[in-house]
Amino acid sequence: MPIRRELRGLYPPNWKDLSRRVRFERARGLCEACGRPHATLIRCLPDGRWFDPAQRTWRDRRGRRAQWPDLLAMIPERTTRVVLAAAHLDHDPSHNRLRNLKSLCQRCHLLHDRPYHRAQRWITFRRRYATGDLFLGFYAPSHIETDAAETAHAGEGLVSPLNVMHAFGARQPPADGHAAEFPAIVGRGSSRVFAPLSIEPLL
């Protein structure tokens, strides 16, 4: 799997040689979780079963011989090419001992990293919520974003700050210098509500 740009500095200079040693010398070009061979075009099913072309048999997600699928189970069958990668068991790219590395195919690698990806997604969502709260709630529910897009389309075709505020129900600052009310998001997550916020116009 490709290395993210912000994480490249955590990998050692000899990472390619280390990865090749784990995948092809220790694991002999096989996934250490399901047994899929590297660079081989295989047939697979959504439940993890895959067809071993060398032994002419079906195997399960752990590489053991599995029952042959029936016609209904073969409907969602797809073909994929196996690509092995050296995965970090503790999800720490700076920990590169051999006992912490494992040769995994793309499917097993994604399953192994699923808890880490869920945690990163939660952090990303919370960061967006915080950004929305910081800028008067411009990170809005989907129906308000749709209203903003429709307002922009009906106008000049560009999403301007005035179009966004109009979609939120805000009034433009009056020319007489009086305070205007803009909506603010109160609360977090699904419990957010809109409340008016009085803001003095810029002079």
Over residues 102-125, the pLDDT tens digits come to: 999 999 999 999 998 898 899 888
Query: What whole-number distance in Å separates Cα of residue 164 and Cα of residue 138?
Result: 8
How big is the chain by its Cα radius of gyration, in Å? Answer: 26
For position 199, what pLDDT does the model report?
43
Q: At a CB cut-off of 8 Å and minimum separation 6, what does 63 contact?
A: 31, 33, 34, 35, 36
Residue among 161, 75, 39, 191 nearest 31 (CA): 39
Phi and psi, residue 156, nearest 5°: -95, 0
Phi and psi, residue 183, nearest 5°: -75, 145
Residues of the chain with pLDDT under 50: 143-144, 147-148, 151-203
For position 1, what pLDDT does the model report?
63
Tokens of residue 43, six digits: 């047939």
For position 132, what pLDDT does the model report?
74
Query: What whole-number distance in Å separates Cα of residue 10 and Cα of residue 118?
Result: 22
Q: At a CB cut-off of 8 Å and minimum separation 6, what does 175 contact?
A: none
For position 9, what pLDDT does the model report?
86
Q: What DSSP character marks residue 105?
A: -
In the block, residue with structure tokens 């001992």: 97
For position 136, what pLDDT does the model report?
61
Query: What whole-number distance in Å separates Cα of residue 18 and Cα of residue 12?
Result: 9
For position 184, what pLDDT does the model report?
43
